[in-house]
Amino acid sequence: MIDEKTARQAVIRAADELFYTRGVQAVGMDAVRTAAGVSLKRIYSLFSSKDELIVAVLHHRTAVWDSGLASASQRATSARERILAIFDFLDAWFREPDFRGCAFINTHGELGASSTAVADAVREQKRSFQEYVAHLVADAGAPAALAPQLAILAEGAQTTAAIAGTPDAARDARAAAETLLDVATGRPR
């Protein structure tokens, strides 16, 4: 028998893949059980409800998102480049064959009105991303008002790429971010 931590991780990973591919409401706990190889009894001992599992999946997604941003920014040598690395990260993600848009936006669209816990988890991830962008903007010496503008570009690119089925939105959002950065910092074009 696998230990609790391993079982929990297996259930979260299986649920994440299923929810992202099919949608949260379309996936029953039996499908999670089968994909994870963990009994329903064990799943419900780890997560008291499907909502609790969904929130755990969203926290897992937050960690993956944060790690991806950190990895993309490691190559950057300036605050400006760290900001633009967000859009490079998005471009690479949009090109993945299993890209289905932002899991947070998708989940909020399905359950945000009916699950306070899900809505709170999504809002927390979005708030955290906005704070991350705000720190980068401050490091770049740009006005604080630029941060929400850049965050909206990134969020809009995710939705546009998912709906259009093309990664072009990342490139377009990056170009817009460069323009906003140039104007905000007085950099000549």
State how far the Cα of 110 lies from the Cα of 118, in Å rounded to an integer. Answer: 10
State how far the Cα of 99 lies from the Cα of 4, in Å rounded to an integer. Answer: 30
Confidence of residue 189 (pLDDT cuts 50, 70, 90): low
What pTM value is reported for the model? 0.93
Mean pLDDT of 39-60: 97
Q: Where are the domains of the chain?
A: 1-48, 50-185
Nearest to 162 by CA among 82, 105, 83: 105
Do 56 and 47 form a contact (C-beta atoms < 8 A)? yes
Count of C-beta atoms within a 10 Å radius of residue 116: 11
State how far the Cα of 173 lies from the Cα of 90, in Å rounded to an integer. Answer: 10
CB contact burial 44-70 (16+ within 10 A = b; e otherwise): eebbeebbebbbbbbebbbeebeeebe
User: Is CATH 3.40.720 what the domain over 1-48 is classified as, yes or no?
Assistant: no
Confidence of residue 2 (pLDDT cuts 50, 70, 90): confident
Give per-residue pLDDT as tens, 82-141.
Answer: 999 999 999 999 999 999 999 999 999 999 889 999 999 999 999 999 999 999 999 999
Q: Which residue has the tokens 């929810």?
A: 19
Spatial CB neighbours of 153, under 8 Å, sequence gap ≥ 6: 87, 173, 176, 177, 180
User: Is residue 188's pLDDT more than 90?
Assistant: no
Helix (H, G, I), strand (E, B) or coil at 28: coil
Q: Please name the CATH architecture into which domain 50-185 falls.
A: Orthogonal Bundle (1.10)
Do 54 and 24 form a contact (C-beta atoms < 8 A)? yes
Mean pLDDT estimate for the chain: 96
State how far the Cα of 182 lies from the Cα of 23, in Å rounded to an integer. Answer: 39
Element (H, E) at 187: none
State how far the Cα of 13 lies from the Cα of 179, in Å rounded to an integer. Answer: 38
Q: Which pLDDT belongs to residue 187?
A: 79
Matching fold, domains 1-48 and 50-185: no
Nearest to 110 by CA among 49, 21, 24: 24
State how far the Cα of 43 lies from the Cα of 50, in Å rounded to an integer. Answer: 10
